[in-house]
A and B are shown apart, each in its own frame.
Chain A
Amino acid sequence: MLKMIVCMKQVPMVTELPWDAKTGTLKRELSEGMMNPACKHALEAALRLKHEHKGHITAITMGPPMAEEILREAIAMGVDRCLMLSDKKMAGADTLVTSYTLARAIEIFCADFDLILCGCHTSDSETAQVGPQLAEELDIPGIAYVEDVQINSRIITIKRLSDNFLETLEMDMPGLITLTTRNYAPRYTPIAGLQDAFDEPNILVVSADDLGLDEAFIGISGSPTMILDVYSPTAQKKNIVMQGTPKKIVEELLERFDDRIGSVIRKDLKVEK
């Protein structure tokens, strides 16, 4: 039995950011949550390994109560058990403290794991740090940016493209990998799975006290980094607007920017007058 843990995060589902220009903050309450895309790819990899090796998957998330939704989704997709670390004391954690908290929960509730799978990075904060830091915290080998994972007689073999090098690596169990979104396109959730996901009390909610964690070492107070401010750099560029018939526009474009475009494509675009 291959015992796997998939760590996942709920991120805001955004196509255009609900940004409040007046207060300079993200209107998070306006955006629905979703399972972070890379985490979903990690879950897909775990589900395929489960199918191949008769495995068991525990999904873990840390977040506010509404993060329950991604765990229900994970159950619908085929996860066996869920752990939700949810406590106001855990809020505002940076990656260092997040990995610390996750590690304590794993040690208490699923210490006998063989493989931990994480998404390589989240779509909101994009640090890509929790996976490697979790491996370090648990003192197990870890490999980031994995594109393919195989398991054979307790050896984890992975393929990845790392800085232009196509690498094949292996490590013994237990280990941790973080997956990119390049492979393992997530399956769609079957409707029957959704029905099942809400039929049973199958999510274990865990507080800081359950983990025996001191408030001083978790959440915002335990985090060594501090966010000074957040701002939106995407102000409207002062741009040139062109309108008219395609032919006229194109002539104007190449007339005004013949040097700029010509120098890049290394061709003379000037027309003899």
Chain B
Amino acid sequence: MKEDKRSIWVFGDYRNYFQNRVTLQLLSRATDLAKEIDAEVCAVVFGHEVDEWVGEYIAHGAMRVYVTDHPSLKNYSSDIYVELMTRLVKEYKPEIVLVGATSFGREFAPRVSKILGTGLTADCIGLDINEKELLVQTAPAFGGNLLARIVTPEKRPQIATVRPGVFQEIPHNYEAAGKTVYVALPENLPNDRVRLISSLRQPAREQRIEDAEVVVCGGRGMGSRKKFRNLYELAKILGGEVGATRPVVYSDWAEDEALVGQADKHIKPKVLFSFGISGAIQHTAGITDADFIIAVNKNPHATMMKMADVAIVADAGQVCTALIRELKRRIRT
């Protein structure tokens, strides 16, 4: 073992930096956890011309950054990245490895854990250290309706993928000192068995429902297609997006893109209006990250009403119309 001090590693996932700052959030959480087990926070970066990220990670809490910089690593490749990561872990034996639960992270981490024969917990929304100095990982199940607390008692490292947006990043400090350890690309690397034919960054839509600060969701309780279309006017006034439940889309009241739910889009608006939605788990699993929920339903005991901050017991269609009128009046004045 080269290092005497225990370490907590964070995988540097920078590909989608501007949309997704999960690596910085993990460095922040790792810093807190490190204090409890007296460990060093490290980041791992693979890629080409990645100095920018190395600096960024040190500024956000990494005390040490392992870097493999090579032109052949320009594009993310799970085969090669998995190989590099497992070699590094075998060599430096970190206590904990945290990976952002991005699409890449959730493909990459399982394979690393498999090769290392250790435990992995998926999409965690909580990380703590218990009295046995084990990493207690809180992971959602059944669309977030259940939470499980999971540990890896014996095998090391303890690996978790962590949902973006759960932890707050610490403000950057470009004065922070951190070591950079350059690891050369091994010569005997196997070939990447998956060939990249093309990779196009999706043009950022003007506003995606996943990023919208205001979302107006509607369900069958809106009563009819015609009334449902009023939600679009409301969303326009509020500068938000319209979301819908499956039955609504099946009835052709809204387009597929509007689907919000467990198997569909997950939203995290600051304000969510929920009109005529009873709150089946398939839908509510997609709105667990909404900050403030205003629900309108004739049934005061609908699951959705229990999840809401403001529960309005009334006809969804009528409240929608009244709200449009009142907002217009207020915004004009």
Contact = CB atoms under 8 A, between A and B. Distances in A.
B188 interface: no
A180 to B, nearest CB: 9
Contacts of A175: 193
A264 B106 contact: no
Interface of A: 14-17, 19, 26, 37-38, 94-96, 99, 123-133, 135-137, 140-145, 157, 160-172, 175, 181, 223-234, 236-237, 239-247, 249-251, 253-254, 257-258, 260-261, 264-272
Interface stretch (B63-71, B87-95, B146-154, B219-227): B146-154
Nearest to A100: B114
B15 A124 contact: no
A272 B333 contact: yes
B318 A246 contact: yes
Nearest to A170: B195
Q: Which of A14, A16, A225 has the most CB of B within 10 A?
A: A225
Nearest to A94: B119
Interface string B294-333: 1000001001011111111111001101110111001101
A37 B331 CA distance: 45
24 contacts: A126-B143, A127-B110, A127-B121, A136-B110, A142-B78, A165-B202, A171-B193, A181-B263, A224-B117, A224-B154, A227-B148, A229-B149, A231-B149, A234-B306, A234-B307, A239-B311, A241-B311, A241-B312, A242-B310, A242-B314, A246-B319, A260-B271, A265-B238, A270-B330
B199 A135 contact: no
B309 A237 contact: yes
Given A99-B114, A224-B152, A169 B306 contact: no
A269 B330 contact: yes
A26 to B, nearest CB: 7
Contacts of A237: 306-309
Contacts of B114: 96, 99, 132-133, 136-137
B154 to A, nearest CB: 7
B233 interface: no
6 pairs of A and B residues whose beta carbons are closest in the complex = A224-B119, A141-B193, A225-B119, A127-B122, A246-B322, A129-B110
Instruction: Classify chain B's interface size.
Output: 35 or more
A125 B79 contact: no
B128 to A, nearest CB: 11
A237 B288 CA distance: 13
Contact of A167 (B115, B199, B306, B307): B199
B202 A96 contact: no
Interface stretch (B32-40, B44-52, B134-142, B178-186): B134-142
B229 interface: no
B304 to A, nearest CB: 11
Contacts, number: 269
A123 B120 contact: no
Q: Which of B103, B143, B144 has the most CB of A within 10 A?
A: B103
Contacts of A242: 310-314
Given A141-B194, A224-B119, A247-B322, A230 B310 contact: no
Interface string B243-270: 0000000000000000000110000001
B149 A260 contact: no
Contacts of B321: 246
Given A132-B110, A162-B103, A237-B308, A224 B193 contact: no
Given A132-B110, A257-B310, 15 more contacts: A14-B142, A96-B118, A123-B142, A126-B122, A128-B123, A132-B114, A136-B114, A136-B115, A161-B202, A167-B198, A226-B150, A228-B151, A229-B149, A240-B309, A269-B330
Contacts of A133: 110-111, 113-114
Contacts of B230: none
Given A96-B119, A165-B202, A225 B152 contact: yes
Contacts of A250: 319, 322-323, 325-326
Contacts of B282: 15
Contacts of B16: 163-165
A117 B110 CA distance: 17
A226 B119 CA distance: 9
A240 B201 contact: no
A125 B141 contact: yes
B146 A17 contact: yes
Contacts of B150: 225-228
B201 A164 contact: yes
B281 A17 contact: yes
B206 to A, nearest CB: 15
Contacts of B281: 14-17
Contacts of B82: 136
B174 interface: no
Contacts of B145: 17, 19, 232-234
